[in-house]
Amino acid sequence: MRLETGQTIITDTGSHQVLSSSPVLFTTQAEMREQLLSVTRTAEHHLTLWSRDLNSGLFETAGFLDVLKRFLLVRRHPRVKLLTTPFNEHDRKHPLLLMAERLPHSFEVRTCENTHLESAELLLADERGVLYRIHADRWDGMADIYDPQVARFYGVQFDKAWCAAQLLPSFDRVINQ
């Protein structure tokens, strides 16, 4: 079956519009949230998340958390890697971190001071879908549901930062029980 751009499909992770495989540029928070949901819905096995600031208003929205929860509960052996800058005790109540504590076998969470990642926020879906926000103070960015080359580029950057990062003690305790 050939899917046309703009056609709505229903999968086990929800219904969503089929996007073209060309990059989608966005400049507003609303556009970014829409693309975040589209890219997240394409994930089948792995999601990779990077955020300089978990409280930026992106990864805590109900729509994203619902799609993420569906991904984690429907898929077989899903994995989510979350990398962020160190945060205080108040930030531990962030909905994404609370979900990670409830589902420790699906999440890995690490913090890193200096990452050298070229984006303020990043989401990779199965090494092919990519969404990134260029600057922390603006919503400018790019999303593509199928761009393995760009996803690999950011994946290499992410992996370097991931290896240099520290596992959070509370998550380490839950994961290694």
Provide the residue ranges of all domains of the chain, joining segments of one domain with +. Answer: 8-175
Decide: helix, strand or coil at residue 53. Answer: coil
CB-CB neighbours of 70 under 10 Å: 16
Distance CA 16, CA 106 (A): 24
pLDDT in tens, 76-123: 999 999 999 888 777 778 999 999 999 999 999 999 887 777 788 999
Tens-digit pLDDT profile for residues 156-165: 999 999 999 9
Query: Exposed/middle/buried for 137, CB within 10 Å: 0-12, 13-18, 19+?
Result: exposed
pLDDT value for 45: 96
CATH topology of domain 8-175: Endonuclease; Chain A (3.30.870)
Listed in sequence order, the residues at least 6 apart from 2 whose beta carbon sits closer than 8 Å to its beta carbon are: none
